[in-house]
Structure 1
Amino acid sequence: MDIPDETSPPPGPEIGSLATFDEAVASGTLAGHRIQSLDLTGRGAALRSADTAGAVFLGCRMGPGAAAKVRADGAFVFPPVPGLPFDPYRGLLYSPDALYAGLSEGGYPATPDARAYRWFQRTRANGDAFASMLRALHDDAVSDALGGFLAGARVVGVMGGHATARGGAPYAAAARLGRTLARDGLTVATGGGPGAMEAANLGAYTAPHPDPVLDEACALLAAAPSFTPSVTDWALAAFDVRRRWPGGGGSVSIPTWFYGHEPPNPFADRIAKYFANALREDGLLTRSTAGVIFLPGAAGTVQEIFDSTTPNYYGSLGGPTPMVLVGRAHWTRALPAWPLLRALAAGRAMESRIALVDTVDEAPGALARLSAGP
């Protein structure tokens, strides 16, 4: 088989579902296609009859006869890796149900999310090149799926601290923000954790429902205000909200097992979870093409402010992305990121794309003004 290089023809379409696989077979060929993480044991006849030259099968299960045939065609076959709590070849983003499978029966420790975190803890520093490769494959597949899902979307990032407790006014304000942004036609993206991040995803989830639903949901969630001491109770409360009000609006969250002590919130319908935090941060901020709103937070939020500042400062993404900091006292006195941001922006194109506001409710208007330009 030939190894793809710079002279190779462009790859064929990516296939991440059996329905898409069947459509490709019906069209006459699988040549050059990328087939990800499918159980093809029931598609042996299709594989034996289709042209699979140059195809790449990533973690697909198939019978030995079918596997021998596609290899003889010149396809690459990367077999499934047994015993892992995650799929390194996955072709789709996670859903809350996928990460929290088994929550009701065995509690959070039994879920794929918790099992993946324990695997990461065991392997992150043991020098095992195979484990490192599996993490890299997984994260690259997640990035690919995230890019495909968000293509053409107007994405606004909402950053904020994980310590914002359910039941309080800051949580409710962040939830209203997420609802407003979603109703304005924006795709809300967060870091995916608890606190302000969860609140923004919750707001987007309740956007299609009447206004009182958000207040009722916040009241229900207040019974489990934090993921400590019990992630199980915290997560079950969120799934209770989802069951009471199905058909919620969509949003995206981008959490990481690097901070695996913070569980992913269940209100984003698409979850891009990474092992590598640096890839996660880059994936979150560079895809927030409609701007980023920074709620009060601590070290993680400060890091995100300046991770977003750097490409704006150098113009590496083409044009500056709007940045709105919320909480004048917080960002000028408690953690004075605003004076430094303003000093960096002075005289540059990004100067007209940054703003500091007092309250969360002012943030959507400020974002709209910055997006409209000077």
Structure 2
Amino acid sequence: MEIEAPEQLRARLEAGASLAGARFQNLDLGAFEEALLARDDLEGLIVLGGSLSHRLAAHLTSHRALVFPAAPHAPVNPYRESLYTPEELYDPIEKGYAATIDGQAYAWSRAADNAHDAYISLLQAAHDVSITDALDEWIAGAPVVGVMGGHALRRGSRDYAQAAHLAHRLARHGLVVATGGGPGAMEAANLGAFAGTPQDLDSALAQLAAVPGFEPSIDDWVVVALAARERLLQSGAAEDRSVGIPTWFYGHEPPNVFCNAIAKFFSNALREDGLLARSSAGVVVLPGAAGTVQEIFQAVTPRYYSDADDVPALVLVGREHWTQTVPVWQALEALGHERALGRAVRLVDGLEEAAVALGA
């Protein structure tokens, strides 16, 4: 049983319910110290981070509970109970990207001294488990469509605008739009889902075009996006329709800000599996390169082995790109012959066709 909020713990204590085997996640236990000191039904209780006195920690462990202390020197809380917000990750962007929580977490994840430190690895693994749990709670069974695509797509381009309008249509159809949470096609899709109206989306597209990419300056790229995000929030942004699932593994891909929530992982493998496994309403793949190809075949594998009648669609957008520039379509056709994969995969030229293939 996970207890992530003070009111949950208070209710359990007032009811006299057992605490054996419970999980306290990121709680300040100061207000509950005397009540907990009076309890001895604590075997198997696990305290993940938060704050508690040495006296209470000693009492808990003496009754066969486990206490995992907070990690004050880590740039992120490994036991957090919720997803990130863009404002949180980019605080304080006015001091430069390297000073932000996101920048510090990336540096921490890549530091040579930390690479073989078992304690650091444990903290990062605990963080990713916490984020996985928070992501499940945030989605809570909602229909999710994954939108994949390369980070090189530029703001101000026709393809960027089209990707944003496709995602806007999918979100208005009641779908949660999930992406890898980075720049380019991923940002365009998160932006489209986040915007409240087509007019708001067009206004944001025009505003963002002033800084087409995150190179050479992540700072400029982020600042103009945060300003556009604030305008969208004031106009009435969509709620719970845009989620980004990025990773610190790719330091050259800063997270985009057009998400209702961000599930950021240290492990790229967990991130990719988490994104694709939750795309219950299908996957749209926009033109991309190696990373996008990897995501295609991760999506292909469960569809290839499925014996279900109704397999979520896998829609590749860009016939020339996927048959000539990066010719994966031929492999998909061969793998899909007389299998569920063949019924699920589609190759289309336009985003209108992509939306229709997903029932939107």
**Match among 4, 7, 10 for residue 22 of structure 1:** 10
SS of structure 1 residue aligned to 2:316: strand
Cα displacement string for residues 15-41 of structure 1 (whole angstroms, at most 9, x for unaligned residues): 223333333333333333211122223
Hey, what's the Cα distance between the residues in 1 that align with 2:338 and 2:292?
Answer: 25
> How many Å separate the matches in 1 of 2:35 and 2:262?
32
Q: Are 2:54 and 1:64 aligned?
A: yes
2: distance between equivalents of 1:97 and 1:22? 31
Between the aligned partners of 1:248 and 1:344, the Cα distance in structure 2 is 41
In the other structure, the counterpart of 2:30 is 41
**TM-score by structure 2 length?**
0.93
Q: Which residue in 2 is equivalent to 1:128? A: 117
Give the corresponding residue for 2:64: 74
Question: What is the DSSP-based 3-state SS (H/G/I as helix, E as strand, rest coil) of the residue aligned with 2:178?
Answer: strand
**Alpha-carbon shift at residue 44 of structure 1 (Å):** 2.1
CA 275–185 in structure 1, closer or farther in 2 if over 3 Å, else same:
same
In 1, distance between residues paired with 2:179 and 2:271?
Answer: 11
Provide the secondary structure at the position in 2 that maps to 1:263: coil
Q: Deviation string for 1:300-321 (max 9, x for gaps)?
A: 1111111100111112899632
Write the deviation string for residues 324-367 of structure 1: whole angstroms up to 9, x where unpaired. 00011111111111111111101102211111111122211012
Pairing partner for 1:174 from 163, 170, 181 = 163
Q: Distance in 2 between matches of 1:25 and 1:224?
A: 53
Q: Which residue identity lines up with residue 323 of structure 2 in the other structure?
A: T
User: Which of 162, 168, 173 is residue 151 of structure 2 equivalent to?
Assistant: 162
Alpha-carbon distance in 2 for matches of 1:161, 1:38 = 39
Residue in 1 aligned with 2:299? 308
Query: What are the within-5 Å matches in structure 2 for residues 192-341 of structure 1?
Result: 192-206=181-195, 209-246=196-233, 247-249=236-238, 250=240, 251-315=242-306, 320-341=311-332
Contact 1:124/1:132 (<8 A) preserved: no
**Which string of whole-angstrom CA distances, capped at 9 and with x for unpartnered residues, describes residues 169-197 of structure 1?**
11111111111111111111100000110
Q: Distance in 2 between matches of 1:49 and 1:175?
A: 56
Counterpart Cα distance in 2 of 1:143 and 1:210: 31
Whichever residue aligns with residue 229 of structure 2, its letter is R
Aligned partner letter, 1:333: Q
Q: 1:97 to 1:20 in 2, by over 3 A?
A: farther
2-structure distance, mates of 1:154, 1:147: 12
The answer to whether 1:142 aligns with 2:131 is: yes
Mark the CA change 1:91 to 1:202 in structure 2 (over 3 Å): closer, same or farther: same
Q: What amino acid is aligned across from residue 13 of structure 2 in structure 1?
A: V
Report what 2:353 is aligned to: 362
* Structure 1: distance between partners of 2:78 and 2:232: 33
Secondary structure class of the residue paired with 1:257: coil
Q: Give me the whole-angstrom Cα distance separating, in 2, the residues matched to 1:26 and 1:181.
A: 45
Structure 1: gaps spanning 5 or more residues: 1-11, 370-374
After TM superposition, the runs of 4+ consecutive aligned structure 1 residues lying more than 6 A away are: none
- C-alpha distance in 1, partners of 2:72/2:175? 40
Question: Does structure 2 retain, via aligned residues, the 8 Å contact 1:91–1:141?
Answer: yes
Compared with structure 1, are the counterparts of its residues 300 and 317 closer, same or farther at alpha carbon in structure 2 (3 Å cutoff)?
farther
Give distance in 2, aligned partners of 1:127 and 1:200. 36
Provide the rounded CA distance (Å) in 1 between the counterparts of 2:270 and 2:309.
Answer: 20
Quick one: structure 1 residues 26 and 218, their matched pair in 2 at CA, closer, same or farther if it must change by over 3 Å? farther
One-letter amino acid of the counterpart of residue 344, structure 2: R
For 2:284, give the aligned amino acid. Answer: I
Question: RMSD in angstroms over aligned alpha carbons?
Answer: 2.0
Counterpart of 2:339, as a letter, is: R
- Please identify, of 143-152 and 211-220, the stretch whose mean Cα deviation from structure 2 is larger: 143-152
Task: Decide whether the 8 Å contact of 1:16 with 1:92 is kept in 2.
Answer: no
d(CA) in 1 for partners of 2:90 and 2:33?
A: 32
Measured after TM superposition, the shift of residue 255 of structure 1 is 0.5
> Any stretches of 5+ residues in structure 2 without a counterpart?
none
CA contact (8 A) 2:108 2:114 kept: no
How many equivalent residue pairs? 354
